[in-house]
Amino acid sequence: MSNEKQLLQSVRGTSDLLPNDQPLFQRVNRVFADIAIACGFKEISLPIFEYSWLFQKGVGSTSDIATKEMYYLHHKEGDNLDIALRPEGTAGIVRAYYEHGMHTWSQPVRLFYSGPMFRHERPQKGRERQFTQFGIESIGESDSSEDALVILAACQALYRLQIKPENFSVHINSIGCTHCRPKYIKKLLAYIKTRQDKLCDDCLLRAETNPMRVLDCKNKTCQAHTTDAPNHLDHLCDNCKNHFKSTLEYLEEAGISFNINHRIVRGLDYYTRTVFELIAETGTLKGQALGAGGRYDNLVATYGRRKAPAVGFSAGVERVITILKDLKLSKVPTEKPQVFVIQLGSSAKKKAFSILRQLLAAGIKTASSLSSNSLKTQLKMATKNNVRFALIIGQRELLDKTVIIKDLQNGSQETVDLKQYLAILLERLK
C-alpha cells in the first residue's frame, strides 16, 4: 500500500494522550469528580454509542450535530436501527434515567459522567473530532436553585484547578419556555428578514430551522449586523422572568460574577430557560467556551415520556488542560517510588522478584530493573528515580539470607535479616 507510512499516524482530529500528559488529564477529571460528589452527584458510565435516533430527536434533527457532525454506524439489523458514536452526554443520561427507572427514585437525580465524545467537524485548536467531556446532570427539579448549583459546581472545579475568576467569565441568558419563546421568535424572524442580505448562508439556513442560532453566529459580519436584535429577556413570560431573576440572585449570594449575554442561546434544540457558558478570558482559547450548559425541561417529554425538569453542564477536558498550560498550571506532582530493588546475578534476580512482590503487597511504591546486571547501572537508575532506599541482594546475601538496605540520601547501608527487612524498611519509611 502506497500510503502505509501516512496510515502509521493518528487519524486527523484525534490525538494520543502520552504518559507525561496523563497526570494532568487525571487531575482535571478527579477535581471535577470531587466537586460533583461534594455537591451530591453520583457517577454513571454510559455506552460510547447509542441508537442515532436518540441524538437526532434530542439535539434536534436540524442541529449542526445531527446534520453534519455525527459519526453514524450502520447496524446489521437494518437502517432503522442505525447507531452513532455519542456526540454529547445529555441524551444518553436521559435515556438511562428512564430505562433504569430513575424517575421512581427520590428527585432530583444528580449524575455525573466522563468520557470520549465524537464529532465530525473541522479540527482546530480546542476542537478535536474525539474529545473528552465531563458532565453533570440534575433531573427532576425545576427550582432555580438547581440551575445555580450546577453553575456553582462548574466554577468551583475551575477554581480548585487554580483557574482564577479573572481567567474566565460566566455568560448567562434565559431563552424562555414554550409559552413565551414563540412570540419572541416571531419578532426575531421579522428582524432577521430586514438583515438577510447581510447574513451568511449558515445564518439564513438557521433562520428557517432555529432562528435563535443566528445570534450565536461566530461570523464577525453577522455579529455586527445583529447587534440591535430583539433581546429575549424583554419577552420572557412572568414565570421565566422570575426563574431567571432567582437564579441570578443565588449566584450573587455565592459571590459568582456573571455577564448577562443575550447572544448565549446554545446550539441544541432541547434547551429552555437558563443557558450559560464559561468563556476563557486568557491564553490561546480566549473567547472560547471551556464548558457550557443550561436547563432542558422538555427533553424528556421529547422522547414521549412524562415531562421531567432538568439542568446540566459539560466541560471539554482538553480545553481545560489547554488553559492550564497557558497559565503555567500544568505541572502535577507525581508520586515517586520509595524503594529500588537491585539484584546481582541470576539466582538473586529470582529472589529479588519475590522481594518485589512483598513490597508491592505492603503498599510500598517500588521500582526495579531486573534486566540489568551491573550494580553501578542499577544505582544510577535508583538515583534517577529519586528513591530514598535501595534494597540490594547478591550471591552472598542470598547464601546468608540477608539483604542490604542502602540509604541513598546519606550513603549509609546496613545488612539485615531477610525475615526482618520489611519491618525495618516500613519503620524507616515513616
Residue 63: predicted pLDDT: 61
Cell of 238: 412572568
How would DSSP label each residue in 192-257? HHTTGGGS-HHHHHHHHH-GGGGGG---HHHHHTTTTPPPGGGG--HHHHHHHHHHHHHHHHTT--
Domains of the chain: 10-180+236-326 (3.30.930.10), 339-429 (3.40.50.800)
What's the angle, vertex CA 341, arms to CA 335 and CA 346, rounded to 5? 150
Q: Percentage of the chain with pLDDT > 90?
A: 60
64-68, 230-234, 306-310: least confident range:
64-68
Residue partners of 162: CB distance under 8 A and separation at least 6: 324, 327, 329
Cell numbers placing 281: 478570558
Half-sphere exposure (Cβ direction) of 264: Cα atoms closer than 13 Å: 27
Rounded CA separation 355/340 (Å): 11
- pLDDT tens-digit profile of 254-295? 999 999 998 898 766 778 999 999 999 999 999 999 999 999
The enclosing H or E element of 173 equals strand 168-174
Q: Which three cell numbers stand for residue 319?
A: 480545553
- Bridge partner residues of 403 (DSSP): 416
What's the whole-number mean pLDDT along residues 200-220? 84
Worst-scoring range by mean pLDDT, 216-225, 290-299, 381-390? 216-225
Q: How far apart are the C-alpha atoms of 212 and 181, rounded to whole Å? A: 10
**Binning pLDDT at 50, 70 and 90, where does residue 62 land?**
low
Residue 1's pLDDT is what?
45
Q: What CA–CA distance (Å, rounded) separates 295 from 362?
A: 49
Q: pTM here? A: 0.87
Predicted pLDDT of residue 61: 56
Q: Is the pLDDT of residue 144 over 90?
A: yes
| Residue 122 pLDDT level (bands cut at 50, 70, 90) | confident
Please, which residues bridge with residue 134 across strands? Answer: 114, 315
Report the pLDDT value the prediction gives residue 267, as an integer from 0 to 100: 64
Q: In the prediction, which pLDDT does 203 show?
A: 85
Using the 8-state DSSP alphabet, how is residue 69 labeled?
I
pLDDT digits 0-9 by tens, 334-369: 788 999 999 998 888 899 999 999 999 999 999 998
Amino acid identity at 18: L
